[in-house]
Structure 1
């Protein structure tokens, strides 16, 4: 979806909500604008941690999802 499609979908859904929900939605959107984006520098743990994956390592999707 592009920005215009998302905006149209949000407006369409907003029209079906009661006024208190619309006000709550507006408050939430305004709070998103007020929060600073915390950017994390790349390589934050470089030189502090290490890991290795063995060549014979196997993990199925099901095992991963159960872990």
Structure 2
């Protein structure tokens, strides 16, 4: 897993959603994306599901996705 994205890279990154992660859609690549729960700045998407890895202000921690 790489480090959290910079603000500029994060702004250009696609955000995985229910519509673009279905079996019929192309896979969204594993990377850091804005946390869909909005509890953290970023959450790591492993290519098929959100992980417990989160980051805010460049500090990484873990929190199970809800």
- Per the normalisation by structure 1, the TM-score is 0.21
- If each structure's helix is expressed as a fraction of its own residues, which one has the higher value? 1
RCO higher in structure (CA 8 A, sep ≥6): 2
Higher gyration radius (CA): 1
- If each structure's strand is expressed as a fraction of its own residues, which one has the higher value? 2
- Per the normalisation by structure 2, the TM-score is 0.21
